[in-house]
Amino acid sequence: MATGNDLRRIALSLDGTTEAPHFDRAAFKVARIFVTLAADGRTANIKFTAEEQEFKCMLAPGAFTPVPNAWGKQGWTTVSLAALGVAELRNALEMAWQHAQPKKRK
């Protein structure tokens, strides 16, 4: 069972990640925000690609749910932390962190 403290520890261990307030949540970002943690530490919103979101929600519907509205259509997914193990949370955060890297110049 993962916790908000696990999320914070894992997210901040990913290279270049910083934490800052984001409305009533804590946001973790590299070049872009890739996860926000609810103030109560029970849920988080993680940014996946549409395909990753669909797969995660199909694989573990009790843990992953698309955020309602346009945010969910952009890949933002609510995660119930208690429904995940720490290894599963790490995998999800690493996936989202990779997409938040600075764009490479050509």
Tokens linked to 86: 């720490």
Q: How confident is the model at residue 103 (pLDDT cuts 50, 70, 90)?
A: confident
pLDDT of residue 47: 98
Span 42-92, pLDDT tens digits: 999 999 999 999 999 999 999 999 999 999 999 999 999 999 999 999 999
- Distance CA(11)–CA(75), nearest Å, equals 18
Q: Which two tokens stand for residue 89?
A: 């949370």
The structural domains of the chain, ordered by start, are 4-99 (3.90.1150.30)
pTM for the model stands at 0.94
Q: Which secondary structure element, helix H or strand E, spans residue 7, and what is its range?
A: helix 4-13
* Residues 10, 87, 6, 23, Cα dihedral to 10°: 70
